Amino acid sequence: MKILRLIFLLSFLTITLTVFLPLGAALAQNETTPESISLSTPYPTLEATSDSSFDFTVQLSYVGQTDRVFDLNATVPPGWKATINPQYDTSKIISSITVAKSGVIPATASVEITATPPSNPLADPGDYTVTFKTTSGNLTAQINLTAKITAKYSLYASPSNSLYSTDVSAGRDNAYSITVTNLGTAPIDDISFSADKPTAWDVTFNPPSIDSLEINTPRTVDVDIKPARNTVAGDYLITLMVSGKQASASSMDIRVTVKTPTLWGWVGVAVIAVVVVGLVFIFIRFGRR
């Protein structure tokens, strides 16, 4: 009987220690673990062109025995803009967030920082630092994020006089011009010119090429259009093309109106005059009879 009681007592003590010792250890740990806050992100560096925004996701990890309200702040380079949003809800802009008290496992909350570079002028290619900081009382943490802007290439070409039409004379050199502009964020190299034109026509460019075109520096290119000598008067279409190593401009369709050369016009007038004089002479001569 005494042996059974001893066995029962030992079993009870074993169960008690198994259940309550871990709980006590956890409580003791909670009482001694200092409060802390840390920040982390799966993607600390993002790449995009200067006309795009950068969306960083940052997670707050909090250890503490009371609910905390953390103030949020994002510091961006001059000219940039930044907003802080709840994750998966970019329609709301926030400046603070509440993180619940934690046990042994830290409590977490995630936010999204959207950094937008300036649009005028566009930011140059390079690395830009976005600093995100959170504070609650004596707790503070910050993380540096990198927005890497890659070069944007954009080549634009248009008629210098804004007219997509011109009048020309057959068999002669006829002046026209276009303006080429680099609207990107980095130089465009090896720019060449070409034309889709009627057979036997000559279309030449001056200069024939551009080695390198810097941003926002328009260049005027003279275009000489010389229709074949036997071209019939009327409207024709030529297409001018501008191509660079990194980008090409949209092609330009130019309506070319070929007119009768002035010499032939005077010849026509002379023929008409001779005919009129002849009719008058005939009328006078035979009218007297």
pTM of the predicted model as reported, rounded to 2 decimal places: 0.64
User: Is 280 strand, coil or helix?
Assistant: helix
Residues 112-132 have pLDDT tens digits of 999 999 988 888 899 999 999
Q: Is the Cα torsion angle 4, 6, 9, 15 positive or negative in sign?
A: negative
Higher pLDDT, 213 or 89: 213
State how far the Cα of 204 lies from the Cα of 154, in Å rounded to an integer: 24
Decide: 237 and 254 in contact? Cβ < 8 Å: yes
At 158 the pLDDT is 98
Provide CB contacts within 8 A for 262, sequence distance 6+: 169
Residues 216-250 have pLDDT tens digits of 899 999 999 999 999 999 999 999 999 999 999 99
Average pLDDT of the segment spanning 11-30: 51
Q: Which sequence spans correspond to the domains of the chain?
A: 35-150, 155-263
State how far the Cα of 215 lies from the Cα of 182, in Å rounded to an integer: 5
Tokens of 175: 């002046």
Which residue in 135, 70, 124, 120 sits closest to 96, CA to CA? 70
Domain 35-150: CATH class, spelled out: mainly beta
Instruction: Report angle CA 173, 206, 254 to the nearest 5 degrees.
Output: 60
Provide CB contacts within 8 A for 214, sequence distance 6+: 182, 187
Average pLDDT of the segment spanning 268-283: 63
At 104 the pLDDT is 75
Decide: 92 and 86 in contact? Cβ < 8 Å: yes
Which residue in 153, 167, 165 sits closest to 49, CA to CA? 153
Decide: 56 and 43 in contact? Cβ < 8 Å: yes
Instruction: Report angle CA 141, 144, 150 to the nearest 5 degrees.
Output: 160
Decide: 123 and 149 in contact? Cβ < 8 Å: yes
State how far the Cα of 67 lies from the Cα of 241, in Å rounded to an integer: 65
Share of the chain above pLDDT 90, in %: 70
Residues 37-81 have pLDDT tens digits of 999 999 999 999 998 999 999 999 999 999 999 999 999 999 999
Checking if the pLDDT of 157 tops 60, the result is yes
At 262 the pLDDT is 56
Which residue in 181, 178, 216, 212 sits closest to 194, CA to CA? 178
State how far the Cα of 84 lies from the Cα of 246, in Å rounded to an integer: 36
Superfamily (CATH) of domain 155-263: Immunoglobulins (2.60.40.10)
